[in-house]
Amino acid sequence: MSARPTRQSRKRAARELREILDGRLFAALCEPVRVGLVEFLTVHGRSDIATVAGAFPQDRSVVSRHLSFLHAAGVVRREKVGRQVFFEVDGSAVVVRLEEILARFRRIVPLCCPPGGR
């Protein structure tokens, strides 16, 4: 039988959980426009900023900022070719990030959420 989690271990788990949920990946994907951009790039594949921006009602500069946020979060890749900038979903990077998050969650569970809810 394992020991019950202490208040301190629960506090550590809560801090870790906040860090995970406040991370860039979830922040990037909690904005509907960004989710729409990921969907667009998934359907259309590698696309330049003009093509992407043309498919959304927001100004090109707003779409560009959203794409930059997704890039910083590791959701999309960006490549500059001459004066054009192309974006595409970086699926393998997202999978790696999600696996890392899952591993962190697995380490937290015994500290905060023992089997049987005690």
Are 70 and 37 in contact, with CB atoms under 8 Å apart?
Answer: yes
Sign of the CA dihedral running 108, 110, 116, 118: negative
Confidence of residue 35 (pLDDT cuts 50, 70, 90): very high
Residue 55 located in a structural domain: yes
Are 28 and 67 in contact, with CB atoms under 8 Å apart?
Answer: no
Q: Would you tell me how many other CB atoms lie within 10 Å of the CB of residue 63? A: 24
Query: Comparing 85 with 13, which gets the higher pLDDT?
Result: 85
Residue 52 located in a structural domain: yes
Residues in the chain: 118
83 pLDDT higher than 90: yes
Q: What domain range includes position 65?
A: 7-110
Number of domains in the chain: 1
1 pLDDT higher than 50: no
User: Token pair for residue 59?
Assistant: 């100004």
109 pLDDT higher than 90: no
Q: Closest Cα partner for 95 from 75, 77, 79, 72?
A: 75
Q: What is the pLDDT of residue 6?
A: 82
Residue 118 located in a structural domain: no
CB contact set of 16 (below 8 Å; sequence gap of 6+): 104, 107, 108
Q: Closest Cα partner for 56 from 69, 70, 67, 45?
A: 67
User: For residue 45, what is the domain's CATH number?
Assistant: 1.10.10.10
Q: What is the pLDDT of residue 2?
A: 56
Residue 117 located in a structural domain: no
- pLDDT digits over 40-49, tens only? 999 999 999 9
pTM of the complete model: 0.81
Average pLDDT over the chain reads 90
Distance CA 21, CA 30 (A): 11
